[in-house]
A and B are shown apart, each in its own frame.
Chain A
Amino acid sequence: MGWFWKFTNSSIGKKLVMTVTGILLIIFLIIHLAGNLTLYWGAKAFSTYASTLELIMPLLRIIEVLLALVFIFHIINGIRVWWGNKKSKGVENKISAKSKNSSIFSRTMIQSASIIFIFLVIHLDTIWYPYNLGNGAENLYGIVTGLFMIPLYSWFYIFAMALLGFHLNHGFQSAFQTMGWNHKKYFPLIQTVGTIYAILVAAGFASLPIYFLYFHGR
């Protein structure tokens, strides 16, 4: 398997690791968003969603471990790519025309990723941990809506989701390019779908704290 290790450590292989884990995370976000949107139908709908997931309990834990591995590979490999690329550039030009020749989304992947990572840690600590490993008396709807009532928590949530949209807008089409699927006929469509996906995911997630902070029960 030495060749495989060398492959994943090559400049193109590292990008493929980002792509494969990125595509899995893109799919995960759709499922996560669909589940979260049940919050709009109230406590009962949301609890039904949560308890439906628990029907596959032993399997759910395995999926969670795999998901965690996907996140870890995406994060660690991403940092490795960023750091290696920084070294490959070395000294930068004093004057830069980067805003003329590339998009802000593509240039700020590490910055958007950093904020999303901070969000992820807070997210797991305040929602996943108390629900799954807390004292058992916790009700998921109560935890989530309680947190959304805290303005600072919600504002950071919204900010992180906006940056997630930035990250996905570049990441979606970038995954296709790295796989080598850049075709004259289809690539413009892929870019458009990527942008729509990024907006829908960011707006979908961010709509929940906005709703609970400003509209729910008023």
Chain B
Amino acid sequence: MSTVDILFWIFATLSVGGGLSMVLSRHPVSAAMFMIISLVGVAALFVLLESFFLAVLQVLVYAGAVMVLFLFIIMLLDVGPGASKINFSNWKTGLIGFGASCLLIFLLSALLSPGEDTLSFGQSWTVINNSTAPAPVDALVFSTDISAFGYALMTKYMLPVQISGFLLLAAMIGVIILSKRSGTPSSNS
């Protein structure tokens, strides 16, 4: 077993275990803490997949901003542990959904078993060698440095970048209007 294998199993256990304890935990604050563990595990898996920029972004955006927002709202609304029950009538539906996704996993592993020559998912890793990789002409080649991201965002994905900027602006204005209107419900009418 190489180091990558050991690290993969450690962080896979961390992310899946964190996710499961998040789903099943009683108190919302501890659920948010387990969620942070799971997100950091996923960030470490991104490092194992050699996309370091996305790992940094995962820690900054998810574990930093989004979960702090969640914790802020949980503590603002003061959601206690006793009230957060699990809906037992929906257990069957949840188990059916989980079983369906497990079936999907089996289907995937059956389809992509070793011997498939299209993408060779069952094979082990190949070393990245950008100079000899037979990529299509105008395709963006996978790279570990950030400048490749910047180049791709500014050339091929220029329109999506602007659209996502507009989306962030719309979300910001929407949040401001929502919190303003709900702040003074009686003074208007």
- Do A and B actually bind? no
